[in-house]
Amino acid sequence: MHDPAEPSDLLEKIQGIPLFKDIKGKLLKELAQDVRIEPFEAGKVLLQQGEYTSSFYVVLQGLTTAYRAEADGATEIVGTHSAGDWFGEMPALSHQAQFATVKASSPCVLLVISDHRFRQAYQRVKGFAKLIDERYRERALAIHLRSAPLFKGASRELLDHLSENAQLVTFKEDSTIATEGQVAEAVYLVRSGVIKRVGVDPQTHHETIQAYLCENSSFGECALSSQPIWPATYKTMTRVDVVQLTRDQFRQVYRKVQGSELLLTQTAEALNLEESGAYVDSVAPSSAELDLMVNKKAVVGGRALVIDLKRCTRCNACVESCVAVHDDGIARLNKRGIRTEAGEHMLTSACYHCKIPECMLSCKYGAIRRDLNGGIDFLFDNCTGCSKCEESCPYGVISIAEMFDPKIAPEPTKSSFFKELPVLNWVFKNKETESFDSKIKKAIKCDLCAGMPFEACVYNCPCSAISRIDPEQFAAEGLFDHD
């Protein structure tokens, strides 16, 4: 929808804005038919720092000011926008959070464009894309880098140094960005598009898709390691826009900026997540396992969680222990699933670590990753609670939970008899107390008790009624009919 102005009037307004001077013909007409003009009073907050929006804004009249609040409490003016200027390019292209609060400094009129039309213009018109990229580099690139786990907590000085010489690179569909076994020379942050990570199965020698990378995903951290070799091949599935940071740029930063050793630590953490993974017992599924993944919907990391209903006393210890070992106090386990015809065993519903994970494809915030063992992992800091992964999961194993956000002041912890159980008491004694404040929404699913030497639900079942079993074993025994 747009204001009641005639299409010819809108077309004339758009043509008179320097930003759109290279947009012509059919695309210009489509743009004019799909924009709206909105007036705002002085003092009106147009966009809030941290919120997720998708529209692109051009100032037709008046003046707006952008303010950014930093973690140390300082607030700075990061820009003003007068007639012909624009803002909102980063969320419109990369689905990133708004990096500053924008307020109307005077009565103003804005031209509002949907992210769909913005992307069309960005991808088709070089002159338009050039102007957008110049402004993006100037005021948003350093902030955008923080969406990559590698740069979590990095200082603004460090990010500014990196962004000065970062390259904004575009790859066409079906291009190879990196090849397995070759020397890795750069780290990449995806701005838009979809990339697939491809490896070669050591047994069949066939190509397998290991992961998908969408907006705000990063890869290439191996370039900063002592053995900078690509562990897989990265190919584009669509046109892809990336930020490229070379090894030489990082070397320069190490010499110039204090505190850059943080990058070395977080590089090691990123590589550990990718190469060893939280899902240490996940394996490439066999044909029997794949059949169960699709038809029985109950495989976790290549092994199934099975409950022996003859032994189970319904004490709920499995769920309670799952609650106890997660800092947010939310269970990842549920006791729904498929029963045998005799009703003696049940496969519980949990993550299948799909070969083509629709949750990962739907995430536009770089919050879902796959390790080299095949495990699907959620990055807590990147998750916005938007629920796209929950909606796209074909098996319903992801949920959006409301939990406390870790802050400075601790919340009193609740007592639980699970803290006194063997092994669990070791976990609680050795785990630093998390602190909590306000509530936030995050996506959750079974994580196989990552980082602990056991799976709480299996270990703490007093009846030994719950266990992880190779699907081929119970398929061969005929426990489940999976025709």
User: How high is the pLDDT of residue 367?
Assistant: 82
- Give me the pLDDT at residue 145, please: 87
3-state secondary structure of 35: strand
Cα(86)–Cα(65) distance, integer angstroms: 11
The rounded distance, in Å, linking the Cα atoms of 295 and 81 is: 55
Query: Residue 60: helix, strand or coil by DSSP?
Result: strand
pLDDT of residue 326: 79
| Residues of the chain where predicted confidence (pLDDT) is lower than 70 | 1-8, 71, 259, 270, 272-304, 334-338, 340-343, 349-350, 352-356, 371-374, 395, 405-438, 450-451, 453, 470-483
CA angle 266, 268, 273 (to 5 degrees): 95
d(CA 347, CA 337): 5
- The closest alpha carbon to 189, from 137, 135, 131, 261, belongs to 137
pTM: 0.61
* Residue range 144-275, CATH number: 2.60.120.10
64 close to 103: Cβ distance less than 8 angstroms: yes
By DSSP bridging, strand 303-308 and strand 299-300 are antiparallel
Give the pair of three-digit tokens for residue 102.
């924008």
| Contact predicate 12/20, CB 8 Å | no
Q: What is the maximum alpha-carbon separation in the chain?
A: 76
* Fold for the domain defined by 7-124: Jelly Rolls (2.60.120)
SS3 304: strand
User: Model confidence over 434-468: pLDDT tens digits?
Assistant: 444 467 888 888 777 766 767 888 888 888 888 87
pLDDT of residue 254: 80
Sequence ranges of the chain with CATH classification 2.60.120.10: 7-124, 144-275
Distance CA 452, CA 136 (A): 42
Query: What was the pLDDT predicted at 340?
Result: 67
